[in-house]
Copies of this chain bind each other. A is one copy, B any other.
């Protein structure tokens, strides 16, 4: 019998992690990773932090170099290789210039930047003065373009939009964010919490134009002109950060079940038992609503990849529905969320209550404590639907703890009386997340009394 052939389409966070984890468990398989781009795996999430120069070089965010895959991973990494089809009958991955046979296939094609249908956009060659921001080559191109720029417009105030705006501002540029919605990162934050972020952005000197529709875009010799109602913003560069879409075209063409993303079961199988999928290209199940969703977080991709590798090696690992536990760093603020926002909860038919609590990361008497704001979203029956946390310190500790509680089925009662670790220089006697739960429980009580 010949060696098992395992092929990964896509060498990003999901594909590369799954391939290397597979190698750890299977010394004999022939493992091939086919990547369309010119680089081995790098951290997409880190691109804005190279732009902001917290990380020195783009090379620095390559997780491993090519030699590592070859020498340590003993796997065949094919860069700059575009897959054009999957022949499920003959179990072949068809590339432009070659074909690769597989016994097991993993589709980890990720996502691509969505370009909204702005009038004029089709006449612009992206990558000169107008950029999407998803992959390293375009991030590098933007970085080169701003070296002699003064003014930039960022279209979109999602995570990538505000992270890029933050980085550009720290590079000394005059930055304007234009966002159609009246708020920022609305997937993570309720409007009242988002206001803490807009305040921070404005304090940094970033101009925010919320609730503002981009009506046109054009490039001239020396500038980009972004038209909004009553105004033409003439800038040196424009970043389009309007979200991403799952890259499902190959899967669709191959006849696999595809919705907003590739459909997988909790063992990460697609509708073909020999084909797995993981990363930004798949649909996941939201743990709170039970609905299909696109999670598209780097951490989720890697977690899913570990599950794929375990199951490829004969494991029986089911992935839990996702809570989209996420965090970012804007200006001096840590900004984090888990579960769903109030709006999303109402859309999902929940009877929604909220409680916002402002506490400190340290006991009052200890110097250096930082204000931390915690918002809980819950039902009158004390079910925890989501949490949002913002502060200059200690945000990670609290979001991960609440996330753990929610992942294990706990609610407000469990959070209220949670055992947390206490010592004056590091934490208060009763953590603010517990006090927030106490405040929330009072609202439940009042709601029950009518």
List residues of A whose CB falls within 8 A of some B CB: 13, 43, 45-46, 49, 54-55, 60-61, 63, 297-300, 302-303, 306-307, 317, 319-320, 322-323, 325-329, 334, 336, 338, 363-367, 394-401, 403-405, 407-410, 414, 417-427, 429-431, 438
Contacts A/B (CB < 8 Å), 12 sampled:
A45-B424, A49-B425, A55-B367, A298-B429, A299-B422, A325-B419, A329-B425, A329-B426, A338-B419, A398-B400, A404-B405, A404-B410
Q: Once bound together, how far apart are the Cα atoms of A418 and B55, in whole Å?
A: 27
Nearest 10 pairs of A and B residues by beta carbon? A397-B397, A408-B408, A327-B421, A299-B422, A404-B404, A329-B425, A400-B401, A325-B419, A46-B424, A325-B421
Contact B298 A422 (CB under 8 A): yes
A401 to B338, alpha carbons, bound, how many Å? 14
A297 partner residues in chain B, CB cutoff 8 A? 422
Instruction: Give Cα distance in the complex from A300 to B46, angstroms.
Output: 40
* CB-CB under 8 A for A408 and B419, given A366-B55, A424-B45: no
Residue of B nearest to A425 (CB): B329
Is the Cβ of A404 less than 8 Å from the Cβ of B429?
A: no
Residues in B with CB closer than 8 Å to A317 are: 417
B396 touches A418 (CB 8 A): no
A63 and B405 CA atoms in complex are apart in Å by 30
Q: Tell me the complex Cα distance, A363–B302, Å.
A: 13
Q: Given A299-B419, A400-B421, A407-B418, 4 other A-B contacts at CB below 8 A? A: A61-B365, A327-B427, A336-B421, A399-B421
- Beyond A43-B363, A423-B328, whether A429 also contacts B322 by CB under 8 A is no
Q: Is the CB of B300 within 8 A of A423?
A: no
Q: Which of B13, B323, B421 contacts A403 (CB 8 A)?
A: B421
Asked if residues A421 and B338 are in contact (CB atoms below 8 Å), the reply is yes
Give this chain's copy count. 2
Shortest Cβ distance from residue A123 to the other chain B in the assembled complex, whole angstroms:
35
Distance in angstroms between the alpha carbons of A84 and B424 in the assembled complex: 33
Residues of B within 8 A of A438 (CB): 306
Residue of B nearest to A427 (CB): B396
Name the residue on B nearest A410 (C-beta): B408
Q: Is the CB of A367 within 8 A of B54?
A: yes
Are B322 and A419 in touch, CB under 8 angstroms?
Answer: yes
A64 to chain B, nearest CB (A): 10
- In the assembled complex, the CB of A303 is this many whole angstroms from the nearest CB of chain B, namely 6
B residues less than 8 Å from A323 (CB atoms): 419
Q: Measured between alpha carbons, how far is A398 from B420 in the docked complex, in Å? A: 11
A302 to chain B, nearest CB (A): 5
Min C-beta distance of A8 to chain B, whole Å: 18
From B49, B336, B366, B397, give the contact of A366 (CB < 8 A): B49
Q: Is the CB of A45 within 8 A of B423?
A: yes
Q: Taking the nearest CB of chain B, how far is it from the CB of A419, in angstroms?
A: 4
Closest to A60 in B: B365
A49-B366, A322-B419 known; A405 vs B408 contact (CB < 8 Å) = yes
Cβ contact within 8 Å between B326 and A421: yes
The docked-state distance in angstroms from the alpha carbon of A404 to that of B13 is: 28
In the complex, chain B residues whose CB is within 8 Å of the CB of A401: 397, 400-401, 403-404
